[in-house]
Amino acid sequence: MQVSNIKELDTHAVIGGGKAEAFGMSESAEFFTVLSDTLYRDKVRAVAREVICNAWDAHIITDQTHLPIEIKLTNEELVIKDFGPGIAPERMRPIYCIYGASTKVKSEKETGGFGLGSKAPFAYSDHFSVTSAFEGLRTVYAVSRGGAETDGKPDMRPMVQTPTKATGITVSIPIRNATDRQNFENHIKAVVRQGGIKATLNGVLLDTIDYEPSRKLGYMLMHRQGYGELNESVVYVLYGTVLYPLTTTHAEITKQTRHIANYLGDNRVILLAPANSVGVTPSRESLSYSDKTIETCVRLLKAFTSSLKHDGEKAVRDNIKSRVKGVQRHQINLSMTEETVNAYVGSNVQDRKEIARAIALAQPNLFTTRDQRQRVLLAGLQKKFRDSRRTFRRMAAKPMVYSNYGLLREHETEIYRHTRRLVLRMASKLNLLTDLMIYDHEATYQREKLGPMEEYRGSRPVGNQIVVSPTQRDALKLLMNRYANNSTLRHSKDLTTVFVVKKMTAELRAKIEELSKRFKFDTEFLPFPERKKPKRGEKAEKGLFYSFFEVKQGAQGKFRISEKKTLPKAPQFYMNVRGGLENLDIDRHFWPFREDFKKYFGEIALANNVKAEAKLKLMGARDIELALVDELKAIAGKREVAFAYLCNKGELIESGHYRSVSTLARSLIIEDMRFAQFFFPDAKIVTNEATVKAEFLTNVMKDRYNYGTKRYRDYQTVWEEVRRIAKTEFKDTRLDAKTADARFSFLKVLADGNYSPDLDRAVYDFDEILAMMKWLKARHERKAKTVSPNNDNTTDAQKEAA
């Protein structure tokens, strides 16, 4: 292919003067290196491009473009084979050994013309081999960068000749390592794809672009395969089988490319230059911007932009009509520009109208105004949904705030009315209007997420998802988990419809499925429990209340209970709780003492709402908190309660510094009153039923009421009596930190272990800790009896440590 025009160089004549001296070229080894190595910026890409293009040219001149060239790539070598005519032995030197000599200068179909491409492998390797099969003779040539024999100039020598029936050229280039192999593979795929070359790599046919449909149009739209492809420019020129980035400082070309860049996104414009219309640099890595090249590029750019200007407005209208034609009722609030990402991904657009539609999706503002798009959109929706024509007329009469095609904000109420119409129609046919609910995942509180549709006061669109559930709780649990685990759903604005069907029959299920298919709803049925009929003569006992002892602790400290009520009648006591069945709010002081509650009060019902509490009171049940206050009042004057109070408040021992014995002792006493009996045996508190109950009551009633609550005064009166007795009975018992550290120094080994009962309660057994402390105390007492007095200043703690 012609790559430069000699006539362009004859721009003036010199008259007079002496004899003209023509310039020459040095044949030094260094200059050969310049022409075959340093000439190329990207050496691996240059080797792949030049050798593959030469192989493809061999197929072009023999009209074998239906056959792919063969490429084999391993960690050791790259082999590129064509099935052209091959090269006669006597022509190998003029073609392979002469720089600047080319057989393609006058050809309009072949790529080349500088006489440098066959030497490109020197840009990567010092040697390679060429095998030529020509007219029954196969000759293998070794090509080298050169040595002493050729004064450092490249050389080629025949190695072996054998008879053959095949024809063509095979070039074999050694590969240095696995990293280079991967690099070559990436460039080979890019060269083949972008050049429209048919080739196989290790037996697999490579992806390629067919430019023929775009030849007459002169341009096409190409979608990039990954972020690493075609990054140098937004416009490329295809000349021969090579894509050249259109990068120049020419004012007109820069203006046109910047304008085009505004609406391409991940696409690239490919301009198809005719043969002999542009010039390229010798490295074939960029265009040579001569006057002829600039004229061709400007002409192709203007053809592209003018066609867009002509087709753009109609393309926008066609996009809207196409979108409306396929839209469902629940989708009218979606922005149509979402198709920019989806409609043309992975495709190369070569039709003029389709190119305009692709760009109109990305940038409709280039061709139309918002008002124009609004009129087209609402007119199409009126034809599509004739039962909602009044809705769309109202929308047309109001000012709109919307994205490029979607409808937002001011018209959300109209959209909600329109999208719920089919849901209401379906529920009416099923006689389920009273059981129709809406799930709104954007509601702030859990109790507000799922509720009757007639009470919904929002304005978001109703989606095409329907959940049929036996209970409201099951549907809420399913949808909350689904939205929590799916980021796409969390960003969706659609509401979900829920049918709560308490008694599901086969006929009702079949009718729901039939209507769902008819109205194009995506319906999901949750499992319905089998209802077992009681045996004949047996009366099924119905549960009325939830039991406190049926509550389970779930993940993240949440409490839950089965939906089945297990108490057939009201027990003597009930406990006020709040929250849903999956997220009960159980008091943190109550939960650890479930067994004690059962021991002292028996069965306890849960009042999880106002109606349940009123029903329990009517049936004679009493609030457990009132009972706790009364129980505490009854035993408030006993020493055991006062001692338990001091233990619970941590007032028997003053807390010392970090890892001190006093801090450890205080923490243990707060957790279990048995440790207080260990540290203060003189208090004469014996473990009996009274001390156990006193410890239980002080634990569950600790910090129970805040100031201002209705039971705060009774609560404070009880504790004032307890505190008075505690100060009187145990005024000499309490220890400061220094005294406690000295008296219980035998526990230093535990304190140094950084034991923290409030954090490690689940890890340690208090019975084992108490047994260990008793053993340490006994050992300390035995040592104290056997140690004779001395005059040194060593403390007992230091001796213990030694």
695 in any annotated domain: yes
**Do 100 and 69 fall into the same domain?**
yes
**Do 740 and 771 fall into the same domain?**
yes
487-518 pLDDT, tens digit per residue, is 777 777 789 999 999 888 999 999 999 999 99
Segments of 343-406 assigned E as strands = 401-402
Is 478 within 8 Å of 467 (Cβ atoms)?
yes
Flag the least confident range among 196-200, 393-397, 522-526. 393-397
Ranked by mean pLDDT, which of 125-129, 457-461, 795-799 comes out on top?
Answer: 125-129
Q: Given a cut of 90, is residue 426 above it in pLDDT? A: yes
Nearest CA-CA partner of 447 in 584, 547, 616, 615: 584
Is 575 within 8 Å of 607 (Cβ atoms)?
yes
419 in any annotated domain: no
**Do 456 and 574 fall into the same domain?**
no
% of the chain exceeding 90 in pLDDT = 28
**Do 614 and 495 fall into the same domain?**
no
More confident residue, 67 or 648: 67
State the pLDDT at residue 140: 95
**Do 182 and 290 fall into the same domain?**
no
457 in any annotated domain: yes
| Partners of 137 in beta bridges | 134, 163
Distance of CA 515 to the CA centre of its chain: 36
**What's at 248, amino acid-wise?**
T
State the pLDDT at residue 404: 43
State the pLDDT at residue 790: 54
5 in any annotated domain: no
378-387 pLDDT, tens digit per residue, is 888 888 888 7
Domain that holds residue 143: 29-205
**Do 324 and 387 fall into the same domain?**
yes
| Partners of 239 in beta bridges | 242
Burial label for 624, CB within 10 Å (0-12, 13-18, 19+), is buried
State the pLDDT at residue 336: 44
Count up the domains in the chain and report the number. Answer: 5
Nearest 5 degrees, angle CA 794-CA 797-CA 802?
75
Q: What is the 8-class DSSP label of residue 583?
A: S
Q: Given a cut of 60, is residue 708 above it in pLDDT? A: no
Give the residue-averaged pLDDT of 81-97: 90
State the pLDDT at residue 444: 83
State the pLDDT at residue 100: 62
pLDDT band at 562 (very low <50, low <70, confident <90, very high): confident
pLDDT band at 145 (very low <50, low <70, confident <90, very high): confident
12-30 pLDDT, tens digit per residue, is 555 666 677 767 666 766 6
Distance of CA 417 to the CA centre of its chain: 33
Could you say which of 161, 187, 205 is where a domain stops?
Answer: 205
**φ/ψ of residue 369, rounded to 5:** -95, 170
Could you say which of 148, 181, 205 is where a domain stops?
Answer: 205
**Do 156 and 268 fall into the same domain?**
no
24 in any annotated domain: no
Flag the least confident range among 6-15, 111-120, 213-222, 640-649. 6-15
State the pLDDT at residue 198: 96
12 in any annotated domain: no
Coil vs helix vs strand at 288:
strand
User: Looking up tokens 């196969």, which residue turns up?
Assistant: 138
**Do 350 and 321 fall into the same domain?**
yes
**Do 67 and 131 fall into the same domain?**
yes
Q: What is the 8-class DSSP label of residue 590?
A: T
**Do 173 and 199 fall into the same domain?**
yes
Q: Given a cut of 60, is residue 789 above it in pLDDT? A: no
Check which CATH number belongs to the domain holding 43 and give it: 3.30.565.10
Nearest 5 degrees, angle CA 772-CA 775-CA 777?
110
Distance of CA 393 to the CA centre of its chain: 40
Q: Given a cut of 90, is residue 621 above it in pLDDT? A: yes
23 in any annotated domain: no
**Do 672 and 732 fall into the same domain?**
yes
24-51 pLDDT, tens digit per residue, is 666 766 656 666 677 888 999 999 999 9
Could you say which of 374, 405, 436 is where a domain stops?
Answer: 405
**Do 167 and 99 fall into the same domain?**
yes
246 in any annotated domain: yes
Nearest CA-CA partner of 208 in 352, 3, 56, 2: 56
Summary mean pLDDT of the chain: 81
Distance of CA 407 to the CA centre of its chain: 27
- Spell out the long-range contacts of 687-695 with Cβ–Cβ below 8 A and sequence spacing 24 or more: 688/640, 690/635, 690/638, 690/640, 691/640, 691/643, 691/644, 693/600, 693/631, 693/635, 694/635, 694/638, 694/640, 694/641, 694/643, 694/644, 695/644, 695/647, 695/648
Give the residue-averaged pLDDT of 282-305: 90
727-758 pLDDT, tens digit per residue, is 787 777 778 888 888 888 888 888 877 665 55
Flag the least confident range among 70-84, 719-733, 779-793. 779-793
